[in-house]
Amino acid sequence: MLVAAGHVRLLFRCVRHVFAKYAVAPSLFGAVRHNRGIELPAGSVRRIQSRARSGTQHFTTGKLVRNGVDNKAAVICIEGNIASGKTTCLEYFSKTSNIEVLTEPVSKWRNVRGHNPLALMYQDPERWGITLQTYVQLTLLDRHMLARSSPVRMMERSIFSAKYIFVENLFKSGKMPEVDYAVLSEWFDWLTTNISIPVDLIVYLQTSPQTCHERLEQRCREEEKVIPLEYLESIHQLYEDWLIKQSSSPLPAPVLVIPADYDLQKMLHQYEENRDKILAANNL
């Protein structure tokens, strides 16, 4: 009971953080509605009247969007299993001008005010899964809502994979209590219904779990030393169901699959070969 109350308090703190950062609550509710939309001071969040892009499923009428965000910029999410090579891929494209690269905020997940929710989750997922995933959801939402500085944004993972892969995995494996799953799901549904989170293309780095296991050991991140091959197999299966079979959760954007079991040199070649397809997201 006490644990559940603590989670609710944490969730309220999270949404207050988002609203405070983007000044949504006072300015939104104090806003005046005109025929052309809502007028708000610069830097605040506004509701947009419509947004539809061909090739994507998102129609964002009436959703919150941060003022000053250029909705014409393309957003490409790099998805894949743990240690599949997402950061390495982003590093490669970061050398291209006009591409803004946002890596996952893992450093925050390892240190929030002196606490390490990533390590806690791996030590005791039943207790700390909701704590980590609440913070992952908040920090990824923050990434999605950052004002864009280039015509193309590439970001590592998304609020969608946090929910459809990692939260689902914790719940389906019996490591997340049903009440925690229900609360996280309600949050996710509210956020994605009310806030504009456009994604134009998903690039899926498709690896075997064995490859990821080897790369994980090579990377040697302290918190991840306890990850067994079976964990990577579960995450792999969820990714395949979502992005290849397209049978589990809704797709926020079209998917480009890049086989990623190859060595680094071949991967860089693959990225170059797919560069035009990836950057074509800018013209959708």
Ligand X SMILES: Nc1ncnc2c1ncn2[C@@H]1O[C@H](COP(=O)(O)OP(=O)(O)O)[C@@H](O)[C@H]1O
Residues in touch with ligand LAUPNLSC (CB under 6 A):
82-83, 86, 104, 106, 118, 121, 132-133, 136, 162, 166, 224
CA 88 to chain centroid: 17
* SS3 letters across 29-56: HCCEEECCEEECCCCCEEECCCCECCCC
- From the list 100, 156, 186, 224, the catalytic residue is 156
How far apart are alpha carbons 171 and 169 in whole angstroms?
5
With contacts defined by CB under 6 A, how many residues of the chain interact with ligand X? 15
Reported as type and span, the H/E element at residue 233 is helix 229-239
Closest distance of CB 154 from ligand X, Å: 12
Q: Does 24 bind ligand X (CB under 6 A)?
A: no
Read off the tokens for 262: 């190859």
106 interacts with, out of ligand X, ligand LAUPNLSC, none, CB within 5 to 8 A per kind = ligand LAUPNLSC
Alpha-carbon distance of 232 to 212, in angstroms, equals 7
Degrees, nearest 5: CA angle 185-1-19: 45
- Token readout for 129 is 């899964």
Asked if 156 is an active-site residue, the reply is yes
Task: Please name the residue that has the structure tokens 């680094």.
Answer: 264
215, interface contact from ligand LAUPNLSC, ligand X, none, CB < 5-8 Å by kind = ligand X
By C-beta, is 82 or 154 nearer to ligand LAUPNLSC?
A: 82
User: For residue 23, which amino acid is it?
Assistant: A
For the segment 65-94, give every residue that binds ligand X (CB under 6 A).
80, 82-88
Binding partner of 162, given ligand X, ligand LAUPNLSC, none, CB within 5-8 angstroms per partner class:
ligand LAUPNLSC
User: Phi and psi for 73 in degrees, rounded to 5?
Assistant: -70, 140
Is residue 218 part of the contact set for ligand X (CB under 6 A)? yes
Bridge-based pairing state of the strands 152-156 and 255-259:
unpaired
Beta carbon nearer to ligand LAUPNLSC, 106 or 268 = 106
Give the footprint of ligand X on this chain (CB under 6 A). 80, 82-88, 215, 218-219, 262-264, 267
Catalytic residues: 156
